[in-house]
């Protein structure tokens, strides 16, 4: 019987460990896999033979459950890009030697579109070199929801739930004072506005926030922004603006880089944040109280407010990917197909890795309003099921219980 190795790559999320737990669950209970190994810090660690055995560490179902609710990447991560093996196959040879040393039959790599480049290259190398004793598979993950082919990405729903909840709470906070105030919330997403769009879910129980939503899919115009804010602040005291970090002007340059044209000399590039640029614009053009906030790393690791739907689906895709590999599948990555005939449900399918690696799926323009300052109901309908449900979190000493495996 062959062994399996699993590793994690790219940015952390609240769900990447759920996928790891799913892989382990299948491996432990299927009877088709002997040992399960974890590669530490992704492909970088495997190449250095930093490999641990997981069977004994995760020897109880309870531990797998806790792992699935532990944020970030329990095996550690990396951002390594493998060379093109046609130019330099040294690392590929080292990798195959190490995998064979550990009698690996199945190699599952959990990551986003950049990490899928690794899976794609390794799978292709194996195929072209007739290495068929190792089945290489990808399992998707990214809070950004920018993976192609799949209806949505594991990890996104939890980040979306954190964002919706936080914007809702900031809405209550903002409504407290009777003084005109603009609160700008900068949300992750350089090339895709999915996370920023999730802020719109704060409205599902009737709240007005966010009052304005700017995604990076449409050109951002500072004058239009000023007039939008002026109009909103005339209607209500506190205006909450959700903006993608990656909004760009009509020439395609990041607002955070070009800044506020009239004050370029202020060194906005150094500051990076579009929120800071827009805060200064509001201060000067409107003159009211204004604050900018970044959800920063919190939005990708807030496991305490993870979406149950997301965590369960992430576990499922890990499970199915390991299963698919033992059935002979290779060179593919799992995706979700949405079924909303009788309520929402998903099925896992598999596609060629080349269809996902290095590609970005943006929010469809037709889901953004004409003015580019809000999202449409179709987008809310798409997002809504992904944040449903809360985890049966265990707390220990007042903070969520987690598991550390490296």
Show which residues are catalytic. 144
User: Which tokens hold the place of 2?
Assistant: 């062959």
Quick one: 5 or 330, whose CB is closer to a second copy? 5
> Does the footprint of a second copy cover residue 77 (CB under 8 A)?
yes
Q: Residues 6 or more apart from 200 whose CB is under 8 A from it?
A: 164, 210, 213, 242, 374, 375, 379, 380, 383
Residue for token pair 């004058």:
223
Angle of helix 61-68 relative to helix 16-30, nearest 10 degrees, comes to 160
Quick one: 162 or 350, whose CB is closer to a second copy? 162
Q: Burial, 50: exposed, middle or buried (Cβ in 10 Å; 0-12, 13-18, 19+)?
A: middle
Among 83, 204, 269, 365, binds a second copy (CB under 8 A): 204
> Does the footprint of a second copy cover residue 389 (CB under 8 A)?
yes
Hey, which residues between 125 and 164 contact a second copy (CB under 8 A)? 161, 164
The stretch near a second copy (CB under 8 A) out of 27-35, 196-204, 254-262, 333-341 is 196-204
Give min distance, CB of 34 to a second copy, in A. Answer: 28
Hey, which residues between 210 and 269 contact a second copy (CB under 8 A)? 266-267
The Cα 13–Cα 243 span in angstroms is 21
- CA 301 to each of CA 28, 215, 328, 391: distance values in angstroms, whole numbers, following the listed order: 27, 22, 34, 15
Give min distance, CB of 153 to a second copy, in A. Answer: 17
Hey, which residues between 8 and 67 contact a second copy (CB under 8 A)? 12, 41, 44-45
Among 67, 110, 116, 202, binds a second copy (CB under 8 A): 202
Give min distance, CB of 149 to a second copy, in A. Answer: 25
Q: How many residues bind a second copy (CB under 8 A)?
A: 63
Q: Residues 6 or more apart from 389 whose CB is under 8 A from it?
A: 307, 308, 309, 312
> Are 57 and 17 spatial neighbours (Cβ–Cβ below 8 Å)?
no
Give min distance, CB of 56 to a second copy, in A. Answer: 20
The stretch near a second copy (CB under 8 A) out of 248-256, 296-304, 317-325, 351-359 is 296-304
Under DSSP, the state recorded for 87 is T
Q: Residues 6 or more apart from 364 whose CB is under 8 A from it?
A: none
> Are 195 and 159 spatial neighbours (Cβ–Cβ below 8 Å)?
yes
Binding site residues, a second copy, CB under 8 A: 12, 41, 44-45, 70-73, 76-79, 161, 164-166, 168-170, 172-173, 175-178, 183, 201-202, 204-207, 266-267, 271, 291, 293-294, 296-298, 300-305, 307, 384, 387-390, 393, 395-402, 404
């Amino acid at each position: 019987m062959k062994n399996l190795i699993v590793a994690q790559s790219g940015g952390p999320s609240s769900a990447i460990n759920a996928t790891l737990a799913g892989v382990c669950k299948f491996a432990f209970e299927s009877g088709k896999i002997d040992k399960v190994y974890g590669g530490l810090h992704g492909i970088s660690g495997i190449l250095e033979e930093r490999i641990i055995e997981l069977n004994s560490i995760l020897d109880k179902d309870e531990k797998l459950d806790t792992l699935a609710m532990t944020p970030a990447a329990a095996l550690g991560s990396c951002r390594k890009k493998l060379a093109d093996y046609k130019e330099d196959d040294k690392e590929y040879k080292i990798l195959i030697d190490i995998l064979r040393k550990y009698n690996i039959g199945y190699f599952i790599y959990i990551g986003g579109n950049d990490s899928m480049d690794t899976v794609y290259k390794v799978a292709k190398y194996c195929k072209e070199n007739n290495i068929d004793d190792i089945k290489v598979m990808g399992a998707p993950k990214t809070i950004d929801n920018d993976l192609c082919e799949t209806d949505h990405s594991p990890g996104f729903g939890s980040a979306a739930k954190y964002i919706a909840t936080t914007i809702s709470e900031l809405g209550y906070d903002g409504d407290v004072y009777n003084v005109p105030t603009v609160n700008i919330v900068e949300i992750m997403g350089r090339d895709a506005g999915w996370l920023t769009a999730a802020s719109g879910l704060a409205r599902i129980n009737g709240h007005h926030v966010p009052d304005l939503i700017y995604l990076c899919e449409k050109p951002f115009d500072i004058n239009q922004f000023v007039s939008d804010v002026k109009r909103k602040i005339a209607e209500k005291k506190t205006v909450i603006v959700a903006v993608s970090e990656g909004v760009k002007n009509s020439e395609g340059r990041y607002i955070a880089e070009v800044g506020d044209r009239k004050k370029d000399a202020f060194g906005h590039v150094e500051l990076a944040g579009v929120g800071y640029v827009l805060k200064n614009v509001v201060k000067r053009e409107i003159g009211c109280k204004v604050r900018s906030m970044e959800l920063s790393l919190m939005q990708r690791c807030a496991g305490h407010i993870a979406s149950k739907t997301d965590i369960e689906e992430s576990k499922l895709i890990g499970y199915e990917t390991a299963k698919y590999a033992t059935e002979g599948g290779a060179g593919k990555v799992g995706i979700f197909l949405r079924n909303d005939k009788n309520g929402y449900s998903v099925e896992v399918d598999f596609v060629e890795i080349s269809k996902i690696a290095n590609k970005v799926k943006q929010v469809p323009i037709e889901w953004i309003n004409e003015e580019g300052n809000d999202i449409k109901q179709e987008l809310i309908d798409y997002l809504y099921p992904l944040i449903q449900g809360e985890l049966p979190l265990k707390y220990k000493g007042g903070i969520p219980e987690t598991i550390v495996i490296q």
